[in-house]
Structure 1
Amino acid sequence: MTYFQSFQVIVKLSRMLDSSNSRRSRKMSNVKFGAEAWNARFSGEGWAYGKEPNAWLAERIKPGSGKALVPADGEGRNAVWIASQGYDTTVFDLSDVGRDKCALLASQKGVVVDYQVDDLETRNFSPGQYDLIACSWFHVPWSMFCQHYPRMLSSLKPGGEFICEGYHTTQMEMTSGGPKSLDLLWELDEVMDVISDGFTTIHAAVETVELDESDLHRGRAHVVRLHLAKRKHRK
Structure 2
Amino acid sequence: MNADGWDERYAATALLWSAGPNRTVVDEVEGLSPGAALDLGAGEGRNALWLAEQGWTVTAVDFSAVGLDKARAAAERRGVTLETVVADVTAYRPRRAYELVLLAYLQLPWEQLAGVLATAAAAVAPGGVFLLVAHDAKNLSEGVGGPPDPAVLQTPEQVAAALTGLRVERAERIRRPVEVDGETRYAIDTLVRASAPAG
TM-score under structure 1 length normalisation: 0.77
Q: Say whether 1:117 aligns with 2:83.
A: no
How far residue 148 of structure 1 moved from its aligned partner, in angstroms, is 2.7
Whole-Å separation in 2 of the counterparts to 1:160 and 1:120: 20
Change (3 A) 1:231 1:211: farther
| Structure 1 residue runs of 4 or more that deviate by more than 3 Å after TM superposition | 173-176
State whether residues 64 and 85 of structure 1, in contact with CA within 8 Å, keep that contact through their aligned partners in structure 2: no
Secondary structure of 2:167's aligned partner = strand
State whether residues 83 and 113 of structure 1, in contact with CA within 8 Å, keep that contact through their aligned partners in structure 2: yes
Secondary structure of 2:50's aligned partner = helix
Aligned length: 196
Structure 2 gaps of 5+ residues are none
Whole-Å separation in 1 of the counterparts to 2:23 and 2:67: 20
Secondary structure of 1:138's aligned partner = coil
Secondary structure of 2:33's aligned partner = coil
Partner of 1:71: 40
Whole-Å separation in 1 of the counterparts to 2:171 and 2:37: 21
Within the candidate set 147, 152, 173, 2:115 is matched to 147
TM-score under structure 2 length normalisation: 0.90
Change (3 A) 1:201 1:152: closer
How far residue 37 of structure 1 moved from its aligned partner, in angstroms, is 1.3
Larger relative contact order, structure 1 or 2 (CA cutoff 8 Å, min sep 6): 1
Partner of 1:211: 178
Within the candidate set 97, 103, 106, 2:75 is matched to 106
Q: Could you give the per-residue CA deviations for residues 4-35 of structure 1, whole angstroms, max 9, x where no partner exists? A: xxxxxxxxxxxxxxxxxxxxxxxxxxxx2x11
Structure 1 gaps of 5+ residues are 1-31
**Amino acid in structure 1 at the alignment position of 2:108:** V
Partner of 2:196: 230
State whether residues 125 and 154 of structure 1, in contact with CA within 8 Å, keep that contact through their aligned partners in structure 2: no
Q: Could you give the per-residue CA deviations for residues 182-203 of structure 1, whole angstroms, max 9, x where no partner exists? A: 11101221211111x3222222
